[in-house]
A and B are shown apart, each in its own frame.
Chain A
């Protein structure tokens, strides 16, 4: 699967220092890019890295309005005539980018198919790239925890490292998914069954707390069925259906038809008795009310009769044996008398003036008349007539008053008689109604009272009968209710049995078996992960003294440290088994005095030593098993800052063997320090001189190829 590639050229547009598209020729060779700072030489190295990984953002040249892209032209080591192209383009609208790979035949490929397992600081059977810079990602390179993957790659342990890392995440992830998707459902089922079993047990306990059976132990379902059949027959018998037997059905069916029969019984006997009692009670109430009415009317008639009699006596007393017409006749005569007396008085009044003092002779008998005597006679007559008239008038008035009183009394008597007549009619009507209601020939209060006593007795008898029927019905209902509870008990026992069977069922056991299978599988994976991790840690740890020695060697050559002249890599104390908690630290120290410090924590190194320290891991790793691990590219940006010439020479000494198997690309601003040594050590290489910078186009460079 391994395809060792070489970079033939890089086409850069709109990227960092580059504006208009420019092609940088690399020709598949080790290349030194020389140029002063700020002319854009680093942009060439960074363009290669960006094209491969695309992780860096904010790479667009802000002064250039054209597209931002990098084309990397690659040839296979085995066949340099076949050129593939990797193109990465920055989106116009965001900081994302797309990458495409074009095969030599022009077909488009996915980059992961083209360069399998390509990633930053790549390792494995695909292309390997080291991009060394002094402060990669704004962090110290001697912070070795960020380099374990790289170290593992150089030690040939990369697959183990990668597998351990992936397996840990995979196991956690899969267990979480399984717990969420599967185990939770199984638990849900388990909990649901447990809940139902508990509820059923509680219901059974409620039934057995007041057992609906007489025996010490619950009857069997068939025994309960037999009892319900007998019960059904009993009710049928009470309904007069002596020969009826229960149909051949289950317990629930038997209970249903028994309930129906019980309803029938209630309707046919008890209900009928209650209806009779109600009718009798109504009759009794009606008779009682009519009896009271009759009594009242009779009493009223009697009272009216008595009052009428009194009035009649009073009338007789007023008339004193006279009739009313006699009184009227007398009054007529008196009126006539009073008329004569009135004439008499008128005549006397007419005669009185005729009487004088002279003697008078009676014109009739010629008798001499004395005037005084005449006047006396006239006065006497006049007085007598007046008195008689008053007497007669008084008598007339008395007769009038009497007649008026007679009239009033007679009127009252007449009213009473009408009233008596009306009551008598009502009395007759009540009597007729009672006679019809009770079938009596002669209706009397006494007879009615006797009849009412008789009715009350009958009603009492009926109510007793109803009570008996109700008691009997209640007993039957209780009996049926007990059978129903017994039936529920049998049903719950059956349900418990089904729940238990469900638990024991083949399907459930198979599901549980599958879960166990998954657990075993995960257990195996965890075992593998743990064992692999232990072996990896053992192998990795065994390299640490050798790595320390190698780094010390590189470090001493690159710096002039007198004290703190050694490097060691150790594991900080912690859990050595759990890789995620293991921490490697790089320390500088003095072995003779056995004093070791971590550089970022102690101010013991000068600037040059710190700068060298950043590159030490790369150079140390780069020398380890290069051919074996097939390093393809080693890209180094400005490695020699603060180095003196002798150290640059050493740096090139150690890069020379790397360049035998990998394509090394180094950018540096220190041409003077590098060029002589490069010329003496290397053959068949490129030099790209970045001479100046144009704002419109970008870096201006001139490539020079050195041949053997």
Chain B
């Protein structure tokens, strides 16, 4: 396969990145941009780590609020 017929010239990951960026809503685009930056800076593993950490932080924060809420459930006088 020579360079002229090499399809990777057209539909490579850069094309996918642009395709995704152009199709997302504003909020998703923000997260996608972050993912691309992590990918560019430290590779795919970093994207996974960052998403795992972000999700865990968000989950724990929510869990903490829910737990507090549960503790303060109103009781009858």
Give A residues with C-beta under 8 Å from B.
1, 116-117, 124-125, 155-157, 159-160, 162-163, 166, 170, 174, 177-178, 181-182, 185-186, 188-189, 192-193, 196, 491, 494-495, 498-499, 501-502, 507-508, 510-511, 514-515, 517-518, 520-521, 523-525, 527-528, 531-532, 534-536, 538-540, 542-543, 546, 550, 623-625, 628
> Chain B residue with minimal CB distance to A503?
B74
Given contacts A535-B16, A539-B15, contact A524 B31 (CB under 8 A): yes
Choose among B15, B35, B51, B66 the residue that contacts A511 (Cβ–Cβ < 8 A).
B66
Q: Provide 6 A-B residue pairs closer than 8 Å at the C-beta atoms, listed in order of the A residue.
A: A117-B43, A117-B44, A155-B11, A508-B69, A514-B65, A531-B28
Q: How far is the CA of A343 from the CA of B77 in the complex (A)?
A: 129
Given contacts A189-B73, A528-B20, A532-B20, contact A174 B55 (CB under 8 A): yes
Given contacts A535-B16, A539-B16, 5 further A-B contacts (CB under 8 A): A159-B39, A189-B73, A528-B28, A531-B28, A532-B20
Asked if A156 and B13 make an inter-chain contact with CB atoms under 8 angstroms apart, the answer reads yes
Q: How far is the CB of A546 from chain B (nearest CB, A)?
A: 5
**Which residues does B use to contact A, with CB under 8 Å?**
1, 5-8, 10-13, 15-16, 19-20, 23-25, 27-28, 30-32, 35, 39, 43-45, 47-48, 51-52, 54-55, 58-59, 61-63, 65-70, 72-74, 76-77
Cβ–Cβ contact B66 & A528, under 8 A: no
- Residues in A neighbouring B23, C-beta threshold 8 A: 531, 534-535
Expressed in whole angstroms, the Cα–Cα distance for A159 and B20 within the complex equals: 14
Chain B residues lying within 8 Å of A507, measured Cβ to Cβ, are: 65, 68-69, 72
Majority secondary structure, A binding face: helix
Nearest chain A CB to B39 CB, angstrom units? 7
The 8 Å CB contact of B8, one of A155, A182, A192, A491, is A155
Residue in contact with B63 in the complex, picked from A185, A495, A502, CB distance below 8 Å: A185
* Contact in complex: B16, A185 (CB < 8 Å): no
- Inter-chain contact A156/B12, CB cutoff 8 Å: yes
Question: Per a CB cutoff under 8 Å, which of B1, B19, B32, B69 touches A624?
Answer: B1
Set of chain A residues within 8 Å of B31, measured between Cβ atoms:
521, 524-525, 528
CA A665 – CA B51 in complex, angstroms? 39
In the complex, which residues of chain B have a beta carbon less than 8 angstroms from the beta carbon of A625? 6, 8
Pair A1/B43 contact, Cβ less than 8 Å: yes
Instruction: Name A193's contact: one of B7, B28, B62, B73 (CB within 8 Å).
Output: B73
8 Å CB contact of B66 from A116, A170, A185, A546: A185
Selected contact of A515 from candidates B8, B62, B76, CB within 8 Å: B62
A531 vs B11: C-alpha distance when bound (angstroms): 15
Cα separation A546 to B11 with both chains bound (whole Å):
12
In the assembled complex, the Cα of A550 lies from the Cα of B6 at a distance in Å of: 11
Say yes or no: A156-B19 contact (C-beta < 8 A), given A521-B31, A527-B25, A527-B28.
no
Instruction: Given A124-B44, A507-B72, A517-B58, decide whether A186 and B12 contact each other with a Cβ distance below 8 A.
Output: no
Other-chain residue from B25, B47, B58 in contact with A521 (beta carbon distance below 8 A): B58
Tell me if A117 and B24 are in contact (CB < 8 A): no
Given A163-B44, A527-B28, A495:B59 Cβ within 8 A: no
Asked if B58 and A514 sit within 8 Å, CB to CB, the answer is: yes
Complex Cα gap A157–B55 (Å):
26
The answer to whether B7 touches A159, judged by C-beta atoms less than 8 angstroms apart, is: no
**Are the C-beta atoms of B43 and A116 separated by less than 8 Å?**
yes
Instruction: With A188-B70, A546-B1, A625-B8 as known contacts, state yes or no: A182 contacts B59, CB within 8 Å.
Output: yes
Whether A498 and B74, one on each chain, are in contact in the complex, defined by CB atoms closer than 8 angstroms, is: yes
Q: How far is the CA of A508 from the CA of B6 in the complex (A)?
A: 57
Chain B residues, Cβ within 8 Å of A527 = 24-25, 28
Does the CB pair B69–A495 fall under 8 Å? no
CA separation between A47 and B22, bound complex, in Å? 47
Report which of A116, A166, A521, A540 forms a contact with B48, defined as CB distance below 8 A: A166
Q: A532 to chain B: which residues have CB within 8 Å?
A: 16, 20
Q: How many whole Å from A66's CB to the nearest CB in chain B?
A: 37
Q: What distance in Å separates the Cβ of A539 from its nearest Cβ neighbour in chain B? A: 4
Q: Which residues of A contact B35 (CB under 8 A)?
A: 528
How far is it, in angstroms, between the C-alpha of A550 and the C-alpha of B7 when the chains are bound? 12
Q: With A117-B45, A532-B16, A532-B20 as given contacts, are A174 and B70 in contact (CB-CB < 8 Å)?
A: no
CA distance A263 to B47 in the complex (A): 76
**Contact among B43, B61, B67, B74 for A185, CB-based, below 8 A:** B67
How far does the Cβ of A676 sit from chain B's closest Cβ, in whole Å?
27
Judge whether A510 and B58 touch: CB under 8 Å.
no
Contacts of B25 in A (CB 8 A): 527
Nearest neighbor of B58 in chain A, beta-carbon distance:
A518
The 10 closest A-B pairs by CB, nearest first: A539-B11, A514-B62, A535-B19, A511-B65, A524-B28, A527-B28, A535-B16, A498-B74, A156-B8, A156-B12
Which residue of B is nearest A527, CB measured?
B28
- Determine which of A495, A542, A546 lies in contact with B5 in the assembled complex, contact meaning CB atoms within 8 Å: A546
Report A175 CB to chain B, min CB distance, Å.
10
Residue of B nearest to A623 (CB): B1
Are A535 and B62 in contact, CB atoms less than 8 angstroms apart? no
Nearest-neighbor residue (CB-CB) of A174 within chain B: B55
> For B13, what are the chain A residues with a Cβ–Cβ distance below 8 Å?
156-157, 159-160
B34 to chain A, nearest CB (A): 10
